[in-house]
Amino acid sequence: MVNEVFESYEELMVEVNKIAKTIASKSPLVTRVIKKQINYARDHSVQDSLDYHAAWNSSLLSGRDMEAAMTSYMNKETGEYDDLEEQKSFWEKDGLVP
């Protein structure tokens, strides 16, 4: 699927950067979850993917990011979101790897 065609590489990069800035302005937690959902849907049935999305989405309904998103939307402002902690492997979390 093609959404748009650009006359030049430079024009493409301007638009790509606009999209990247929009994504970067959103909650890092929600952005990470959406990426997980897209990857999951690619490899699973529609029903499995819908169930997976429902479980993840319900987990995001409470929390500071939701409050920040709603407040920023209502005030037509950019939201302020907490940074996520660095991702660590199972081994790192349990102190099994230095």
Residue 90 pLDDT > 70: no
- The residue segments making up the domain with residue 60 are 27-72
Task: Say how many domains are in the chain.
Answer: 1
Residue 91 pLDDT > 90: no
Instruction: Report yes or no on 64 lying in a domain.
Output: yes
Average pLDDT over residues 69-78: 84
- pTM for the predicted model, two decimal places: 0.55
For 12-63, how does the pLDDT look when each residue is reduced to its tens digit (9 = 90+)?
999 999 999 998 888 888 888 888 999 999 999 999 999 998 888 777 765 7
Residue 94 pLDDT > 70: no
Q: Which long-range contacts (CB under 8 A, 24 or more apart) does 22-26 make?
A: 25/78, 25/79, 26/69, 26/79, 26/81
Instruction: Report yes or no on 92 lying in a domain.
Output: no
Average pLDDT over residues 6-17: 95
Q: How far is CA 6 from CA 1, 16, 23, 82, in A?
A: 15, 11, 21, 35
Instruction: Report yes or no on 59 lying in a domain.
Output: yes
